Amino acid sequence: MGTDFIRSNAKSHTKSWSAEYQRAADDLFVQHCASYGRSFLAIPQTNISLQEGDPVYVRAIAEKVLVFRDLSPIAEIEIPTLDLKESLNASCGILDAYIDDVNPLANVVSIHIGREMRNDP
């Protein structure tokens, strides 16, 4: 008697996806390639002149992450983050970058990953 009463008085329910969930499911596994500006601190080698805006590249060699200008290593990122390591692994161990800031008092260089965005008229 209890189940008959519940079945006779219960509202019917139909399982379905809402339109919002359906739109989200359409691009669930699509990789969005948004470019986020990331800067990392590197320790420069001695007797190297560095200027802001110089194009460089970041390269993973063995367990080190080095910053190169042309073919010469100019700095080292001593403690690379996990996302930097993953980005290097995804791009065959090399990334475009430029020098964002030079601080000679602290003996560090800020390396910005990605190409320099210039606002030329």
Residue 11 lies in a domain: no
Strand residue runs (E) in 1-63: 38-44, 55-61
Residue 89 lies in a domain: yes
Residue 7 lies in a domain: no
For residue 90, report the phi and psi dihedrals to the nearest 5 degrees: -75, -25
Return the pLDDT at 31.
58
pLDDT tens per residue, range 37-91? 789 999 999 888 889 999 999 999 988 999 999 999 999 999 899 989 988 998 8
| Residues 59, 68: Cα–Cα separation, whole Å | 7
For residue 38, give the DSSP letter.
Answer: E
Residue 104 lies in a domain: yes
| Residues 58, 42: Cα–Cα separation, whole Å | 10
Return the pLDDT at 121.
41
Q: How many domains would you assign to the chain?
A: 1
Q: pTM for the complete prediction?
A: 0.64
Contact 53, 112 (CB under 8 A): no
Q: Which domain holds residue 55?
A: 38-113
